[in-house]
Amino acid sequence: MSDPAVALVTGAGSGIGRAIARRLADEYAVVVNDVDAEAATETAVEIEQDGGDATAIEADVADHDAVDDLVDRTLDAYGRIDLLVNNAGIETVYPFTDLPEAEWDRVHDVNLKGQFLLSQRVANEMIDRDVAGDIVNVSSVHDVLPRTEKIHYDTAKAGVLMLTKDMALELAEHGISVNCVAPGAIETPMNAELLDDPDEIERMNERIPWGRMGKPEEIADAVAFLASQDATYVTGSRLCVDGGLSLDP
Ligand code: NAP
């Protein structure tokens, strides 16, 4: 039997990333990355308990050396990377007029520079090994939809959208597809405050044509689709998964 394909998923110790790692484990050996080592290990253990093959590797995707170490260790363990899912992200709330420069940098470093660093290194490894692989970036409906108090996050996600399109153009000659998934409001720890408040949940649900927030598994299905044999002619695309939220924001 041939070796399984290998997927590297960042921020996979929680929420959407964990759901993606678990979903992909049906078809891939999965490297579960997170900045939180314990959380990454928990996801890897869940996958192993379900009969999958997973390795947890702690790394901060915003740190160039840590990214190199993450890819080196992935290649040491599995010898190749077929799919990269750039999912790690952080979100904070500041009015534009009060946003500290350091917070702008931190949110951009994790949400945008991290995707650049990892994609560049992984794309080069794919090219060197002649792997016509896939890269899926996790963006947000707010990569194009403006709102208040999240200008640092939303501009980073807008960057992810253009990173996706430009990488897709440059990597097409190597057969590497690059796409992004733009989630709406999803039930994850990132929305813990909202999820703790029934009134807030109701207000959010009223804004969503589908009448409810999304589940992390619904984002994972979209990522799996973009990496699958059902999407062999799809590159540079943005798949919005939001229950219609962005149709009438
Ligand atoms: P989450 O539950 O907070 O999970 C994000 C994971 O990424 C956490 O385990 C986090 O660790 C980890 N992480 C943070 N910084 C990292 C770094 N520098 N390197 C590696 N891992 C890091 O959030 P989520 O809702 O699943 O979000 C996943 C992605 O979806 C993010 O890119 C987010 O922007 C995007 N998204 C989410 C929603 C939503 O409604 N939830 C909507 C649109 C887009 P710590 O917990 O230790 O920080």
pLDDT at residue 200 greater than cutoff 90 = yes
Cβ burial of 96 (10 Å; 0-12, 13-18, 19+) is exposed
Strands 83-86 and 5-9: parallel
Q: What percent of the chain has pLDDT over 90?
A: 98
CATH classification number, 5-244, choose in 3.20.20.70, 3.40.50.720, 3.40.50.12280, 3.10.580.10? 3.40.50.720
Ligand 1: which atom is nearest the Cα of residue 114? Answer: 18
78, 94, 153, 233: which one is catalytic? 153
Question: Within 10 Å of residue 122's Cβ, how many Cβ atoms?
Answer: 25
Distance (Å) from CA 14 to ligand 1 centroid: 7
Regarding the beta carbon of 86 and ligand 1, being less than 6 Å apart is answered: no
Q: Helix 216-226 and helix 15-24: axis angle, to 10°?
A: 50
Reported as a single tens digit per residue, the pLDDT across 14-31 is: 999 999 999 999 999 999
Reported as a single tens digit per residue, the pLDDT across 134-168 is: 999 999 999 999 999 999 999 999 999 999 999 99
Residue of minimum CA distance from atom 6 in ligand 1: 11
Q: What pLDDT does 248 receive? A: 85
Distance (Å) from CA 62 to ligand 1 centroid: 13
Q: Tell me the best of 9, 22, 35 to mutate to test the pocket of ligand 1, counting ligand atoms within 8 Å of each CB and taking the most.
A: 35
- Domain coordinates in residue numbering, the chain: 5-244
Q: What pLDDT does 137 receive? A: 99
How far apart, in Å, are the Cα atoms of 107 and each of 110, 120, 244? 5, 19, 26
Single-letter amino acid, residue 16:
I
d(CA 39, CA 83): 21
pLDDT at residue 1 greater than cutoff 70 = no
* Contact (CB, 8 A) for 54 and 29: yes
d(CA 54, CA 105): 32
- pLDDT band, residue 249 (cuts 50/70/90): confident
Strands 5-9 and 28-34: parallel
pLDDT at residue 211 greater than cutoff 70 = yes
DSSP state of 125: H
Regarding the beta carbon of 188 and ligand 1, being less than 6 Å apart is answered: yes
- pLDDT band, residue 43 (cuts 50/70/90): very high
* CA-wise closest residue to 107 among 93, 119, 122: 93
| Residue 153 known to be catalytic | yes
